Amino acid sequence: MNFNTILGSVDFLEHLRGKKATFLLAGSVTKTCEIPNISQAGIPGKLYLTPTLDAEFLCLKTVRSLEDIAQTPKGVPTPALITRAVHELKPFSNLEILDLGLEVKPQLNYFKIHDFAINPSVRIDDGAQINAMEIFQKGLEFGTNYESSDDYVILAESVPSGTTTANASAKALGYKCDAYFSSSFKDVPNDIKNSTINEALKRVQKDDDVFAKLSKVSDNMLIFNAGFILGSTSKNLKVILAGGTQMATVLLIVNSILESMQGEIDSSNIALCTTKWIDEDENSNIKALLEQLNFPINTYASTFDFSDSLHPALKLYDEGEAKEGVGCGAALCYAAINGVNKKELTSKIESFLG
């Protein structure tokens, strides 16, 4: 197992080799996921459950809030399986859940679930109705005060239809986005996504500031994590943003906030890690998104794929049906810098599918 450097140099990830990581899973629901066929990240009609189930599976290898693991209609298993498999072979030192507006609280004892009194956000084609400043400040405060006894923090997300809200957010903030955003669909349902995004963007006014824009078109995870990142730099916490284009959007939001405040960031302790499936995705371009930042960002992609597996459900990843989520790309990079064997990891993931 290994990783590729998309932006920056190998040094950041290499110097974390063998070091201890806390894994934070930020779960959030935007009711955008209720728009039919907008995402395949979960069970149709029950996508609001996906982050809850992902949190349970990641922590416990079982789901409690539903009888089965979230599966998409085509049978693509949640990337939580990948992250969980890494956690079994080379455990993170600490797992915590950030509740950034879940419909259903994960049924977990002993695990820390941070409650920020955040509600699920409204469909972006209904105006999202987020108090973006408040969510941002909650993230900022959490990032500023977060104490870890580990060497670095992996910050992951589970937000069904989150690529749609991310795309809308980046576009509202004026970034070049066309063909840069991935989706959990292979045959990207651009009509539904684009019409939703366009509908959402209609509400954005020219003289809206960053937070006014985000209030109308974004999701809690994006805004909160932008605050977290800015807060974390005040104490030199090393943070790996674990995800694809959604986490890239977190950084675009950070960038816009800094621009509006004429502020600066020392981004040397922040990196982004994603999957090979995002890195090689022809329908998106994470590098092009990140190159619009005014600050450098070390960016890596795991080289892991399912070439050692014959399992048809897993092969769907290699075919582009699913690409990221639940921090699986960063988990795979973590596995790579901690001596996890590809064959053993593949078998472990297969074992979850029976």
Residues in the chain: 354
Tell whether residue 234 is a contact of its own copies (CB under 8 A). no
By CB under 8 A, name the one of 38, 76, 80, 95 that touches its own copies.
Answer: 95
| Structure tokens that stand for 332 in this block | 């795979």
Tokens 């996921």, residue?
Answer: 33
By CB under 8 A, name the one of 36, 68, 73, 110 that touches its own copies.
Answer: 110
Residue span binding its own copies (CB under 8 A) among the ranges 7-15, 70-78, 166-174, 209-217: 7-15
Q: Is 348 helix (H, G, I), strand (E, B) or coil?
A: helix
Tell whether residue 266 is a contact of its own copies (CB under 8 A). no
Helix (H) or strand (E) holding 58: helix 50-60
By CB under 8 A, name the one of 6, 38, 87, 313 that touches its own copies.
Answer: 87
Beta carbon nearer to its own copies, 33 or 95: 95
Tell whether residue 109 is a contact of its own copies (CB under 8 A). yes
| Separation of alpha carbons 23 and 349, rounded Å | 19
Tell whether residue 91 is a contact of its own copies (CB under 8 A). yes
DSSP label at residue 103:
S
Taking phi first (over 0 means left), then psi (-120 to 50 degrees means alpha), and beta for anything else, what does residue 154 get? beta
| Separation of alpha carbons 320 and 332, rounded Å | 17
- Could you tell me the smallest distance in angstroms from the CB atom of residue 217 to its own copies? 36
Query: Do 69 and 53 touch, CB atoms closer than 8 A?
Result: yes
Q: Is 95 helix (H, G, I), strand (E, B) or coil?
A: strand
- Could you tell me the smallest distance in angstroms from the CB atom of residue 25 to its own copies? 14
By CB under 8 A, name the one of 15, 74, 202, 235 that touches its own copies.
Answer: 15
Residue span binding its own copies (CB under 8 A) among the ranges 56-64, 97-105, 124-132, 185-193: 56-64
Provide the binding-site residues for its own copies, judged by CB under 8 A. Answer: 9-12, 14-15, 17-20, 59-62, 87-95, 108-111, 337-339, 341, 344
